[in-house]
């Protein structure tokens, strides 16, 4: 998985490419831990993400909980397969998905 971070003032955009699973989720978790200080607007661009596992969902949920305290979080670009996973797991009701 590739993680591309773009910061603009207090807005952080994280574009994910590849697979977010048990192997790559800790990498994203570490990247978030180092990057969320002072961020009020977090955007996940999933347009190049092929797959997300429960471990990946846990990282997104953790990021959402953090951002609930300090700003907002949006998930963009989820393909049909990812949307089905978000729907089945109930994450469509938890995450702000555009």
Asked whether the CA dihedral 43, 65, 31, 11 is positive or negative, the reply is positive
Q: What is the pLDDT of residue 34?
A: 87
Secondary structure (3-state) at 91: helix
Which CATH number is correct for 2-93, 3.40.33.10, 3.90.1300.10, 3.30.750.24, 3.40.50.10470? 3.30.750.24
- The predicted-structure confidence for 64-78, as pLDDT tens digits, reads as follows 999 999 999 999 999
pTM of the model: 0.95
* pLDDT for 74: 98
pLDDT digits (tens, 9 = 90+) for 29-62: 999 998 999 999 999 999 999 999 999 999 999 9
């Amino acid at each position: 998985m590739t993680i591309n971070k773009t910061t603009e003032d207090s807005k952080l955009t994280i574009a994910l490419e590849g697979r977010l699973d048990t192997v790559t989720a800790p990498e994203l978790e570490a990247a978030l831990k180092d990057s969320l200080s002072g961020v009020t607007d977090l955007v996940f661009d999933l347009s190049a993400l092929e797959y997300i596992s429960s471990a990946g969902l846990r990282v997104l949920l953790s990021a959402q909980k953090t951002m609930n305290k300090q700003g907002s979080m949006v998930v963009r670009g989820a393909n049909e397969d990812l949307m089905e996973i978000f729907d089945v797991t109930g994450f469509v009701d938890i995450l702000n998905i555009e």
